[in-house]
A = this chain, B = another copy of it.
C-alpha cells in the first residue's frame, strides 16, 4: 500500500464523488468522501468558490481536502444558471431551463468545473475543466445527474451526457478534466516526499 494516499473530497453529492473517484483510481491517491459543512461563497468565478471552500475546510478540519464546484453556463441566458446551478436544479429542474430556452435558437452552453485542493496552513491550488456543447430541446437519457439530460457535448456523437455510460462521460467531462489535472499535480508534487 506504499504510496497510496488518502485525500478527502468534501461533498454530499454521491454522483459527483463517484465520477471523481473513478478518475483518481488509476493514481496513487484514494479519494474519500467527506460529508461536512462547507462554506460556499457567492461569486461569478467557480475557482474562487472552490478555493475559498477548500481553504476554509482545510483549516477548520485540519485535513487535506478537495472541493469541487461545477456549473452550467448558457450563453443565451447570460451564463445562467452558472455558479448557482445546483440550487437552480433543485428549484426549477431541467424543465425550467427548457422553458427559458423555448424560443431561443442559439443554444450554446458550457459545463465548467473547478477542483480546489488545500492543505492546512497553505494556499489552495485550483484546477479547471470545461466542456462545450449545446442545450437539447427535450430531456434525453437516465444517466449522470443534474442537467446532464439536456446537455449535448460538442465533441460527442449527439447524445446528451445522460445518454452516455459513466466511462463515456468521464472521457470528456468538465469534472474529469479538472480532476485529471489535480491528480497529475498531486502526483508530481509528492515525488520524493
Q: Which residues of A contact B (CB under 8 A)?
A: 39-42, 49, 77-80, 82-84, 87-88, 90-92, 96, 99-100, 102
Contact = CB atoms under 8 A, between A and B. Distances in A.
The prevalent SS among residues of A at the interface is helix
Given A41-B42, A84-B42, A84-B84, A78 B99 contact: no
Choose among A41, A78, A82 the residue with the greatest number of B CB atoms under 10 Å from its CB.
A41
Give the most central of A77, A87, A100: most B CB within 10 Å.
A87
Nearest to A49: B42
Nearest to A73: B91
Contact of A42 (B80, B87, B90): B87
Nearest 5 A-B pairs (CB), nearest first?
A80-B91, A40-B42, A78-B91, A84-B84, A41-B41
